Amino acid sequence: MSATTAAPTWTKMRPKQGALSRLFDWKPFLAFVCLLPAVGLLMTFLTYPLGLGVWLAFTDTTIGRSGIFVGLENFIWLADDPIFWNAVFYSVFYTGVATIGKFALGLWLALLLNQHLPMKSLLRAIILLPWIVPTVLSAIAFWWIYDPQFSIISYVFVDVLGWRDTNIDFINTAWPARWSLIAANIWRGIPFVAISLLAGLQTISPSLYEAALLDGASAWQRFRYITFPMLLPILAIVMTFSIIFTFTDFQLVYAITRGGPVNSTHLLATLAFQRGIPGGQLGEGAAIAVSMIPFLVFATLFSYFGLARRKWQQGEGND
């Protein structure tokens, strides 16, 4: 026997795969399994209520009585309903004016906060307050502010400054009520816009402004040619969200005016609730809710195609 023996030959062998293991290696199956929990959740909590809502819109269900399929009857009925059209008008008006207000003020605030200010982080935290407070709470605050007798604004103008003799009418006639609600919505929406846009502003490299300064740009030109175009992508996303939230707003209006006076401040969401739950006409309420869908789809498409990713953000060649 020699001292050194030949090393035993050893070839690496792949262990045999079991059937189950092979199944899990099969991409389509694996993808299906991985998606299952998410799909399940979405189906239960999103698709089912949405589907049910859409189905209800085509029935004459009322509370306590399951209805039958009535086709487009609810919609035909709504088409002749001036209160519905008033709600459509006010929803669009409310969304439009509030969005413009929120973005004008929010952008202005974001630009201010992007400067070097003392106690910058404290200011930023304070700015967020209106948004952190639960909507119902701030709605109640506004309800109080807009109160015909106890309004603090009236108090200031009448008793402190003496500029007026009578209290201001905020929510007792149609147009003042509409504007008052819009003001409340703007107040509540500014923080979200300002903080999101501030995040966008902070991604713009300061050296771009320096380069523009040397290129001879004035403050307005720096905003017009640098800040604004570079902010556009994030502006688009924030605006889409803001439009959707504003259009589907419910709490502020319901808590302050409940759609009144004389249905003049109903949004589609409050009207749908009013008709469906207190009014008991589930089918009709659902139809009003469903009629919001086209507006929302439009808002999403607008941002997707109109404002979203620009060519300059993409890395690939363009030729």
Partner 1 sequence: MATVSVRQALKSFGTTRILHGVDVEISDGEFVVLVGPSGCGKSTLLRMIAGLENISGGEIAIDGRVVNNVPPKDRDIAMVFQNYALYPHMTVRQNMAFSMKLAKAPPQVMEEEVQRAAKILGLDALLDRYPRQLSGGQRQRVAMGRAIVRHPQVFLFDEPLSNLDAKLRVQMRSEIRELQQRLGTTTIYVTHDQIEAMTMADQIVVMNGGRIEQAGAPLALYDKPANLFVAGFIGSPAMNLLPGEVTPQGFRTQGGALLPLPPGAPPHAATYGIRPEHMSLSDDGVEGTIVLVEPTGSETQVTMRLGETVVTGAFRERVQGRPGDKLRVLPDLGLVHLFGPDGARLPG
Task: Give the footprint of partner 1 on this chain (CB under 8 A).
Answer: 205, 207-208, 210-217, 221, 225-226, 229-230, 310-319
Give me the least distance between CB of 300 and partner 1, in Å please.
24
**Minimum CB distance to partner 1, residue 240 (Å):** 20
Name the minimum Å distance from CB 224 to partner 1: 10
- Beta-carbon contacts of residue 266 (< 8 Å; ≥ 6 apart): 83, 86, 87, 90, 253, 259, 274
Say how many CA atoms lie within 13 Å of 198 toward its Cβ. Answer: 24
Question: What minimum distance in Å lies between the beta carbon of 268 and partner 1?
Answer: 37
Q: What angle do CA 255, 257, 263 make, to 5 degrees?
A: 130
User: Is residue 238 within 8 Å of 192, Cβ to Cβ?
Assistant: yes
Nearer to partner 1, 201 or 212 (CB): 212
Q: Is 214 helix (H, G, I), strand (E, B) or coil?
A: helix
* Residue 312 CB, nearest approach to partner 1 (Å): 4
Q: Indicate the residue among 47 and 313 with the shorter CB distance to partner 1.
A: 313
For residue 269, report the phi and psi dihedrals to the nearest 5 degrees.
-65, -45
Cis amide leading into 261 (omega within 30): yes
Least distance (Å) between residue 131 CB and partner 1: 30
Residue closer to partner 1 (CB basis): 2 or 207: 207
Q: How far is the CB of 130 from partner 1 (least distance, A)?
A: 32
In the complex, the smallest distance separating the C-beta of residue 207 from partner 1, rounded to whole angstroms, is 4
Residue with smaller CB distance to partner 1, 222 or 258: 222
- Six token digits for residue 48: 């089912």
As a whole number of angstroms, the distance between CA 88 and CA 300 comes to 18
Residue 172 or 221 with smaller CB distance to partner 1 = 221
DSSP 158: I
Contact 247, 108 (CB under 8 A): no
Where helices occur in the chain by DSSP H, the ranges are 19-25, 27-42, 48-57, 73-79, 82-113, 120-132, 135-145, 152-155, 174-202, 206-214, 219-222, 228-247, 251-256, 268-276, 282-290, 293-301
Residue 74 amino acid letter: N
